[in-house]
Amino acid sequence: TKPVTLSTLKQMKLDKDKITMLTSYDASFTNVMNVAGVECILVGDSLGMVIQGQDSTLPVTIEDMCYHTAAVKRGNTNAFIISDMSFMSFSKPEQALDNAAKLMQAGASMVKLEGGSWLADTIKLLSQRGIPVCAHLGLTPQSVHKFGGYRVQGKSQEAADLLMEESLELVAAGADILLYECIPTELGKKLSEAVPVPTIGIGAGPHTDGQVLVLHDMLGINLGHIPKFVKNFLTDGRNITQAFEAYVDEVKTLTFPGNEHGFK
């Protein structure tokens, strides 16, 4: 199979071919995801929780992200690799550029940053220097202490309007993908129709251009709280390859996420 690139993903939005993404943190799982046809791999800072056993993503460092990105890269043949910028590794534009460069040299093809309007200057700088950016909006777990917990975002009209405004602003700044976490299904639909770049959702309903889940969540081996948007695919006697294949199939056929995985 041909390597998946940013152009592939942009074309998939136009073709209404749903984009499949899973998190991975090592070479072996990455290889199995390739075999199962997962198009994008996110080296998420969720590794703080599912790999390191931390109770949030805040302790994760850029060195941790580089280590896991390099491992994923070595196991990858054709998926598009996106790596998270860790907490406070992108609080200033020049610092963000230096740290994004580390992730790209470790093997990422795109970096992901959590935040809204304030990221515009940073996204512009990275974009101008040839680094593709995914902006993560809605529930941004690095801000858990500011939110006072992991809560659905964009529920009021005002919050929904702000999310729309910020999305368009970040696309204008150069964001190539927008990822929405835990927002109402209807808002996920509106945003995905309004922005010209691919949208990826997690707890954002079935209308985003693609879906992502955390590996450990979708294999049913999450130690902690299981969010409403999660589905365990390692069921019905499947092995791990088959669980990934089932995920790809259900996302492509609009079977997952179902109503029960979304927010009103």
Q: Which residues are annotated as a binding site for 3-methyl-2-oxobutanoate?
A: 45-46, 84, 112
Helix (H) or strand (E) run with residue 161 in it: helix 157-173
**What token pair was written down for 130?**
């040839």
Choose among Na ion, ligand KIV, none what residue 23 binds, the Cβ cut-off being 5 to 8 Å by kind: ligand KIV
Question: Which C-beta is closer to ligand KIV: that of 42 or that of 187?
Answer: 42
Q: Is 217 in the site for ligand KIV (CB under 6 A)?
A: no
3-state helix, strand, coil in the chain (%, to 5): 45, 15, 40
Can 39 be counted among the known catalytic residues? no
Question: Which C-beta is closer to ligand KIV: that of 173 or that of 214?
Answer: 214
Q: Indicate the Cα dihedral angle 176, 19, 164, 202, nearest 10°.
A: -120
Contact between 67 and 86 under an 8 Å Cβ cutoff? The reply is no
Q: How far is the CB of 155 from ligand KIV (least distance, A)?
A: 19
Total residues at interface with Na ion (CB under 5 A): 3
Query: 181, 186, 193, 260: which is the annotated catalytic residue?
Result: 181
Contact between 222 and 234 under an 8 Å Cβ cutoff? The reply is no
Binders of ligand KIV among 26-55, rule CB under 6 A? 42, 44-46
Choose among ligand KIV, Na ion, none what residue 202 binds, the Cβ cut-off being 5 to 8 Å by kind: ligand KIV
Q: How far is the CB of 47 from ligand KIV (least distance, A)?
A: 7
Contact between 144 and 114 under an 8 Å Cβ cutoff? The reply is no
Q: Is 83 in the site for ligand KIV (CB under 6 A)?
A: no
Q: Is 217 in the site for Na ion (CB under 5 A)?
A: no
Q: DSSP labels for 100-147?
A: HHHHHHHT-SEEEEE-SGGGHHHHHHHHHTT--EEEEEES-GGGHHHH
Q: Is 181 in the site for Na ion (CB under 5 A)?
A: no
* CA 37, chain centre distance (Å): 17
Choose, by CB under 6 A, the member of 33, 66, 81, 84 that binds ligand KIV.
84
What residues are labeled active site? 181
- Which residues of this chain interact with Na ion, rule CB under 5 A? 44-45, 84
